[in-house]
Amino acid sequence: MWEGTIRETVRLNNGVEMPRFGFGTVFTNKDIIRWAIQYGLRNIDTATDYDNEDIVGQAVKESGLKREEVFITTKVWNSSQGYEKTLAAFEYSLKQLDTDYVDLYLIHWPCPDNDLYIDTWKAMEKLYKDGRIRAIGVSNFYPEWIERIKNECEILPAIDQVEYHPFYQQRVIKEYCDREGIQMEAFSPLCQGKVEDSFVLKKIAAKYGKTCSQVTLRFLYQENIVIMPRSTKEWRIKQNLDIFDFSLDDEDMEIIRSLSTPQGRINMDPYTFHEQKNLKDQIKEREEREKQQKNQ
């Protein structure tokens, strides 16, 4: 049974409706964001660290849509963690986005070594209570850190945004979030294009007359995960949306589940990620790690 459209929403644990299909904006420009909105996407994900909140705000304004028609997510960066710093960081993001509220505000990384995320969360709770954020959540958080928030703060995160794709399925986190009523959201859902090189996914894609990317996004959709693919190519953005005229059968879902391995991670490990690192540092480290793997 086919189901869903790109406008379908999921109800978060505070009652806010969030589109299930979104668009990641790291390394994009205003034209690319405009294409995503033009093709019907209404969930746009940015972050202070992406250094593009301003063009996201411009693209939304120039789209001709009302502000409330677009769900905007942004994130507090590591060096801005702590109560007062978070409040200031939020004001900066609002100014960059040129809006008076944010739909979803996330802690970008837990940075457990500095132990500031609880104070950060309490600042976000204040902003939420003041009506300046419609929902608050976390990114790259393991259950142990969410448990601290649950025990020491007032509001349970609405979202946990983590790396999640066929080759690295963080099922322990997903099972925890499902139990706690926290919506799982996937970044890097296409493993930065690596899904297109998978023999297994190619075989499944041929069966349905789809691409490996479309099969992957459909898999995540059927796993009830909010999907946040990114592309810099207009045709690819449009192609990625074409996942609602087929369904993967149970056998293929199990085959894709079996592709996950601990070595499948392509982004930083939240346990070892330190506050000094920014996006460029992450990319440099990943490239070096991939070079070493090729030489082994």
Dist CA 7 CA 18 (whole Å)? 9
Residue 236 in this model has a pLDDT that exceeds 90: yes
Which of the residues 39, 50, 92, 128 is marked catalytic? 50
Question: Is residue 124 in a domain?
Answer: yes
Question: Is residue 1 in a domain?
Answer: no
Question: Is residue 212 in a domain?
Answer: yes
Mean per-residue pLDDT, 228-243: 95
How are beta strands 43-45 and 23-24 bridged, if at all? Answer: parallel
Residue 168 appears among annotated catalytic residues? no
Domain that holds residue 222: 19-295
Question: Is residue 7 in a domain?
Answer: no
Dist CA 191 CA 13 (whole Å)? 28
| CATH value at residue 134 | 3.20.20.100
Question: Is residue 9 in a domain?
Answer: no
So what's the pLDDT on residue 1?
39
**DSSP readout, the chain?**
-----TT-EEE-TTS-EEESB-EE-TT--HHHHHHHHHTT--EEE--GGGT-HHHHHHHHHHTT--GGGSEEEEEE-GGG-SHHHHHHHHHHHHHHHT-S-EEEEEES---TTTT-HHHHHHHHHHHHHTTSEEEEEEES--HHHHHHHHHHSSS--SEEEEE-BTTB--HHHHHHHHHHTPEEEEESTTGGGGGGG-HHHHHHHHHHT--HHHHHHHHHHHTT-EE----S-HHHHHHHT--SS----HHHHHHHHTT--GGG--S--TTT--TT--HHHHHHHHHHHHHHHHH-
pLDDT, one tens digit per residue, over 134-190 is 999 999 999 999 999 999 999 999 999 999 999 999 999 999 999 999 999 999 999
Question: Is residue 10 in a domain?
Answer: no
CA dihedral over 259, 265, 271, 272, signed as positive or negative: positive
Better-scored residue on pLDDT, 53 or 114: 53
pLDDT, one tens digit per residue, over 217-228 is 999 999 999 999
So what's the pLDDT on residue 5?
85
The predicted model scores a pTM of: 0.91
Residue 284 in this model has a pLDDT that exceeds 70: no
Mean per-residue pLDDT, 107-126: 95
Number of structural domains (the chain) is 1
Residue 60 in this model has a pLDDT that exceeds 90: yes
pLDDT band at 276 (very low <50, low <70, confident <90, very high): very low
Please name which of 9, 10, 16, 44 lies closest in space to residue 135, comparing C-alpha atoms.
16
Question: Is residue 238 in a domain?
Answer: yes
Question: Is residue 5 in a domain?
Answer: no
Q: To the nearest whole percent, how much of the chain has pLDDT over 90?
A: 87
Tokens, residue 286 = 């990943």
